[in-house]
């Protein structure tokens, strides 16, 4: 399988290459040169497979030439055998139409584990093969950081620098990062928003002062391997609900557009998805883009859903590229203009291509709280605020007739409610407890470095402390 950049000028790479590269050298994002596709009979034959076996079956076309089927299967069994639920991503029914897909049974209680635990194994495999080291730089609005750190902590060939916006993640999210005391882990708390942190990361990948001395890698959803692993749970849930002989719709709490883009990939692969609902909080650039074509960034407003407090959604570029006709040169020009002005209007082709599968919905704080309360009182489910944004979007779109009542509508439950216990308690009057598998999280010592919000401070700290840079 070959992969191409959304901006058209970076060299095509195989799966091993894109996994280790992360961001393309031209600033774009890698996507498969063509989408693999399963027939209805092939999808039907996947019914009843255990999650690791299904994962290997779904991901096999993407890794051709880089991993054998046996190697991939062994990795999947190693990764998903450690999750806290035998089903890995179990379904829970809320009412006649609405379902929750629980994605928080991994080691850090968030959906990021499903992909990042695999990504850590892939890094280890490919770096051993090449006898190389990798310096990971990543940005997180909360969950990516802890999942990535847990995935690579203690690896000999990997060093990770994880940036988070200081004071803008929950106490559980922060501690799941800062209490991991492995020598290859560096936690950086920067002044500013997630968008600021993400901008620093993306800039480092194109900064010759950095790339000249460090072999950089990415764990954010800009890394294709992460998205690939997330495609699996769309297949797993849809199969349980009757696919391919029944269509299924999904509502996805969305910030950086990676999780919902994985649903788009699943549809491209032949899974009968009726509709993908992009559910945002009041930082609603994606809702505006999909409803009116206006992709214009404003200021980031902190909310009780910090993982969605984003105004620049990196993976949206993948959709614009694919839905708009795969014109890399045009995409590069469009993104250059957006990066300069922070404003962009979708082309007619992009808007129409997105509208074929995507709908969007926005939840304000009061609507988020009401969804939390409904799940608890009507269905006996305690959910986190991000999942509540998704549930509000599902209910709103269904009520407006955007998804027929006969179509199962699945909301992705992206985090355990205990990760956001203060917000949950305010909404429903009950404080969710951390699962026993998290252990004594609040008894562990924290370690992090606080930095100013400018790029130079971040770059210099990485270069001064990365083993691969030799202390400059």
Output the average pLDDT for the chain. 94
In this structure, are residues 139 and 220 in contact, taking their beta carbons and an 8 Å threshold? yes
Whether 25 is in a domain gets the answer: no
With a cut of 60, say whether residue 145 has pLDDT above it.
yes
In the set 78, 112, 202, 268, the catalytic residue is 112
Can you give the CATH number for the domain in which 355 is found? 3.40.50.1100
Q: Which of 55-69, 80-94, 143-157, 366-380 has the lowest mean pLDDT?
A: 143-157
**pLDDT at position 135:** 95
Whether 70 is in a domain gets the answer: no
Residues above pLDDT 70, as percent of the chain: 99
**pLDDT at position 220:** 75
Whether 195 is in a domain gets the answer: no
What single DSSP character describes residue 369? Answer: H
Whether 370 is in a domain gets the answer: yes
**pLDDT at position 170:** 86
Residues above pLDDT 90, as percent of the chain: 86
At 343, give phi and psi (nearest 5°).
-145, 140
**pLDDT at position 470:** 59
Tens of pLDDT, residues 263-284 = 999 999 999 999 999 999 999 9
**pLDDT at position 440:** 84
Confidence class for position 469, pLDDT limits 50, 70, 90? low
Whether 196 is in a domain gets the answer: no
Confidence class for position 381, pLDDT limits 50, 70, 90? very high
Question: Residue 324 is part of which domain span?
Answer: 85-110+224-428
Provide the b/e sequence for 363-377 (b: ≥16 CB within 10 Å): bebebbbbbbebbbe
**pLDDT at position 468:** 67
The closest of 196, 175, 203 to 187, measured between CA atoms, is 175
Confidence class for position 84, pLDDT limits 50, 70, 90? very high
Express the helix, strand and coil content of the chain in percent, nearest 5 each.
Answer: 45, 15, 40
Whether 334 is in a domain gets the answer: yes
Does the annotation mark 202 as catalytic?
no
Whether 368 is in a domain gets the answer: yes
Q: pTM for the full model?
A: 0.91
User: In whole angstroms, how far apart are CA 58 and each of 66, 136, 139, 402?
Assistant: 15, 27, 28, 29
pLDDT (mean) for 198-214:
92
Q: Is 342 helix (H, G, I), strand (E, B) or coil?
A: coil
| Partners of 152 in the β-ladder | none
Tens of pLDDT, residues 95-136 = 999 999 999 999 889 999 999 999 999 999 999 999 999 999
With a cut of 60, say whether residue 472 has pLDDT above it.
no
Confidence class for position 467, pLDDT limits 50, 70, 90? confident
pLDDT (mean) for 407-413:
98
Judged on CB neighbours under 10 Å (0-12, 13-18, 19+), 297 is middle
Q: Cβ neighbours of residue 343 under 8 Å, at least 6 residues apart?
A: 295, 296, 297
How far is it, in rounded angstroms, from Cα 434 to Cα 441?
9
Whether 3 is in a domain gets the answer: no
With a cut of 60, say whether residue 416 has pLDDT above it.
yes
How many separate domains does the chain show?
1
| Partners of 295 in the β-ladder | 344
**pLDDT at position 471:** 52
pLDDT (mean) for 223-235:
96
**pLDDT at position 439:** 72
CA 426 distance to own-chain centroid: 27
């Amino acid at each position: 399988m070959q992969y191409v950049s959304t901006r058209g000028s970076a060299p095509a790479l195989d799966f091993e290459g894109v996994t280790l590269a992360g961001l393309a050298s031209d600033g774009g994002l890698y996507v498969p040169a063509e989408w693999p596709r399963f027939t209805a009979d092939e999808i039907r034959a996947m019914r009843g497979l255990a999650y690791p076996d299904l994962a290997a079956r779904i991901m096999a076309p993407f890794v051709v030439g880089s991993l054998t089927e046996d190697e991939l299967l062994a990795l999947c069994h190693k990764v998903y055998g450690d999750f806290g639920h035998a089903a890995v991503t179990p379904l829970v029914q809320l009412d006649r139409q609405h379902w929750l897909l629980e994605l928080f049974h991994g080691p850090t209680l968030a959906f990021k584990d499903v992909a990042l635990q695999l990504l850590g194994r892939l890094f280890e495999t490919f770096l051993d093969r090449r006898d190389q080291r990798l310096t990971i730089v990543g940005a997180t609005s909360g969950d990516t950081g802890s999942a990535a750190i847990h995935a690579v902590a203690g690896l000999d060939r990997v060093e990770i620098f994880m940036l988070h916006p200081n004071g803008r993640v929950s106490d559980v999210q922060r501690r799941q990062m800062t209490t991991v005391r492995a020598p290859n882990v560096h936690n950086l708390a920067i002044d500013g928003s997630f968008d600021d942190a993400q901008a620093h990361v993306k800039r480092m990948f194109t900064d010759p002062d950095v790339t000249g001395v460090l072999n950089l890698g990415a764990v954010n959803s800009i890394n294709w391997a992460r998205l690939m692993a997330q495609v699996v749970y769309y297949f797993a849930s849809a199969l349980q609900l009757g696919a391919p002989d029944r269509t299924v719709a999904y509502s996805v709490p969305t910030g950086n557009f990676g999780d919902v883009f994985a649903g788009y990939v699943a549809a491209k692969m032949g899974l009968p998805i009726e509709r993908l609902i992009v559910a945002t909080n009041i930082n609603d650039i994606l809702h505006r883009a999909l409803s009116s074509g206006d992709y214009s960034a404003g200021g980031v407003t902190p909310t009780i859903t910090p993982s969605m407090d984003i105004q620049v959604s990196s993976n949206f570029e993948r959709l614009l590229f694919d839905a708009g006709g795969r014109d890399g040169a045009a995409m590069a020009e469009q993104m250059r203009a957006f990066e300069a002005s922070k404003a962009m209007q979708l082309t007619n082709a992009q808007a129409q291509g997105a509208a074929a599968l995507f709908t969007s919905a926005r939840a304000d704080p009061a609507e988020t709280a009401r969804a939390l309360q409904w799940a608890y009182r009507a269905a006996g489910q305690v959910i986190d605020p991000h999942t509540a944004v998704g549930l509000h979007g599902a209910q709103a779109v269904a009520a407006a007739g955007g998804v027929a009542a006969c179509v199962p509508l699945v909301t992705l439950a992206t985090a355990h409610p205990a990760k956001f216990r203060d917000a949950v308690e305010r909404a429903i009057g009950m404080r969710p407890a951390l699962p026993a598998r998290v252990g004594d999280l609040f008894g562990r010592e924290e370690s992090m470095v606080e930095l100013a919000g400018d790029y130079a401070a971040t770059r210099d700290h990485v270069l001064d402390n990365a083993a691969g840079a030799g202390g400059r």
